[in-house]
Amino acid sequence: MIHASQVTKQFGSDGKGVTALQEVSLAIGEGEFVSLLGPSGCGKSTFLRCLAGIETATSGNLLIDGQPISGPPDRLGMAFQRDALLDWYDVLDNVLLPADFGGKRKRDYEPRARELLAMAGLSAFVHSYPRALSGGMRQRVAMCRSLLLDPRLLLMDEPFGALDALTRDQLNVDLHHLTQQRNMTAVFVTHSISEAVFLSTRVVVFSPRPGRVVEDISIDLPRERRLAVRESKEFGHYARHIRGLFEKMGLIHE
């Protein structure tokens, strides 16, 4: 579904620019959940923005379904670290924003919005405003919004990074179930080794800037996952291996 070949992204020019990505090559099949894991500033978010058609690669090829990316792909869902909810819209209208922006009739998508909010445990808050919600609830609303148009490709840039550990764990479980049920392709940016291993079919480790692919790791864990899988020997093996890669890069010190 996604094919990146020697993708390089530079910002600025005349010797004063910054190379965010350098010769990144990566293929992602339909239905995979791939986490991009690496230190701050390593180009993970830049790569995500290139996939979304927000940024354009300086060189190399980046294709979706064999076609160059010239703008936001069809059936794209996006979620960011900040929930970006509109404070003057209630929860339902915030979830319906993608239909509104797409020039679609919101009432046609209201049943879908209510279904997603029910799945996220937010049925009682349909007409509440964002100021009345906790951080975790706001992120659930943002997640529902990203799923409204039944995306084929879901791009997420550290959506749970600012949340407490318990809320983050629950949203990891929610996201896992949602993507499994709908067989979505997901590319997920995170700094958390545990989160990446729990959610992913593959974890792609990036080097410090300029971002390069250090290792592409297949995660062979049960397709249906519960938090208890983090206590398994297999999970620990993947987490230790990834931590070892960061130690070799000098990013973790014992």
**φ/ψ bin of 148: left (φ > 0), alpha (ψ from -120 to 50), beta (otherwise):** alpha
All structural domains of the chain with their residue ranges: 2-75+151-248, 84-150
Cβ proximity of 144 and 77 under 8 Å: no
Query: What is the per-residue DSSP string for 49-80?
Result: HHHTTSS--SEEEEEETTEE--SSPTTEEEE-
pTM value is: 0.87
pLDDT by position in tens, the chain (length 254): 999 999 999 998 766 788 999 999 999 999 999 999 998 888 999 999 999 998 999 999 999 999 999 888 888 888 887 788 999 999 999 999 988 887 788 889 999 999 889 877 899 999 999 999 988 889 889 888 988 988 899 999 988 877 788 888 888 888 888 888 888 999 999 989 999 999 999 999 999 999 999 999 999 999 888 999 999 999 999 999 999 999 998 876 65
* Architecture of domain 2-75+151-248 in this structure: 3-Layer(aba) Sandwich (3.40)
Residue 32: count of CB within 10 angstroms of its CB:
18
Length of the chain: 254
Cβ proximity of 234 and 203 under 8 Å: no
Using CA atoms, how far apart are residues 26 and 6, in angstroms rounded to an integer?
A: 9
Which CA distances in Å does 69 have to 48, 65, 152, 157?
12, 10, 15, 19
